[in-house]
Amino acid sequence: MVMKLHEYQAKDVFADAGVPTPSSQLASDVDGVLTAAEEIGYPVAVKAQVQVGGRGKAGGIKLAEDEDEAREAAESILGMDLKGYRVERVLVEEAVDFTNELYVGITMDRGEGKPVAMVSTKGGVNIEEVAEEDPDAIAREHIDPAFGMHPFQARKAVYDAGVDKSVANDVASVLTTLYDLWESRDGSDAEINPLMVTADDDVIAADAVMNIDEDALFRQPELAEMEEEAASGGDELEQKADEYGFDYVRLEGNVGIIGNGAGLVMTTLDLVDYYGGEPANFLDVGGGAKAERIANALDMVFSDDNVDSVVFNIFGGITRGDEVARGINEALEQFDEIPKPVVVRLAGTNWEEGMEILNEDLVTVEQTLEDAVERTVAYAEEVNEQ
Partner 1 sequence: MSVLVDDDTRVVVQGITGGEGKFHAEQMMEYGTNVVAGAVPGKGGQEVNGVPVFDTVHEAVAEEDADTSVIFVPPAFAGDAVFEALDTDLDLAVAITEGIPTQDMAKVNKRLTETDTRLVGPNCPGLITPGEAKLGILPGNIFADGNVGLVSRSGTLTYQVVDSLTNRGIGQTTAIGIGGDPIIGTDFVDALELFENDDETEAIVMCGEIGGEDEEEAAAYIDEHVDTPVAGFIAGRTAPPGKRMGHAGAIVSGSGTGTAESKINALNDAGVPVGDTPEEVADNIESFLE
Is residue 296 near partner 1 by the rule CB under 8 A? no
SS3 10: helix
Q: Give me the 328-367 binding string for partner 1, x by CB under 8 A, dash otherwise.
A: -------------------xxx------------------
How far apart (Å, rounded) are the C-alpha atoms in residues 129 and 90? 26
User: Residue 168: CB partners within 8 Å, gap ≥ 6?
Assistant: 155, 158, 159
Query: Smallest distance, Å, CB 222 to partner 1?
Result: 16
103 assigned to active site: yes
Query: Smallest distance, Å, CB 369 to partner 1?
Result: 6
Strand spans (E) along 38-186: 44-48, 61-64, 81-82, 85-86, 90-94, 98-109, 114-120, 138-142
> What does R_g of the chain's alpha carbons equal in angstroms?
26
Strand order in the sheet with 61-64: 24-27, 90-94, 44-48, 61-64
Closest by alpha carbon to 157, among 174, 172, 135, 179?
172
Query: Smallest distance, Å, CB 73 to partner 1?
Result: 28
Query: Smallest distance, Å, CB 70 to partner 1?
Result: 33
Is residue 321 near partner 1 by the rule CB under 8 A? no
How far apart (Å, rounded) are the C-alpha atoms in residues 35 and 49? 18
From candidates 68, 111, 221, 334, binder to partner 1 by CB under 8 A: 111
From candidates 57, 68, 110, 361, binder to partner 1 by CB under 8 A: 110
**Omega of the bond prior to 20 within 30 degrees of 0, cis?**
no
From candidates 12, 93, 170, 284, binder to partner 1 by CB under 8 A: 284
How far apart (Å, rounded) are the C-alpha atoms in residues 20 and 241? 38
Query: Smallest distance, Å, CB 316 to partner 1?
Result: 7
Is residue 5 near partner 1 by the rule CB under 8 A? no
Q: Give me the 68-107 binding string for partner 1, x by CB under 8 A, dash otherwise.
A: ----------------------------------------
How far apart (Å, rounded) are the C-alpha atoms in residues 17 and 109? 24
- For partner 1, the binding residues (CB under 8 A) are 1, 53, 108, 110-111, 113-115, 128, 131-132, 144-146, 183, 186, 188, 213, 215-216, 218-219, 247, 249, 251, 259-267, 269-274, 279, 282, 284, 287, 315-318, 347-349, 368-370
Catalytic residues: 103, 191
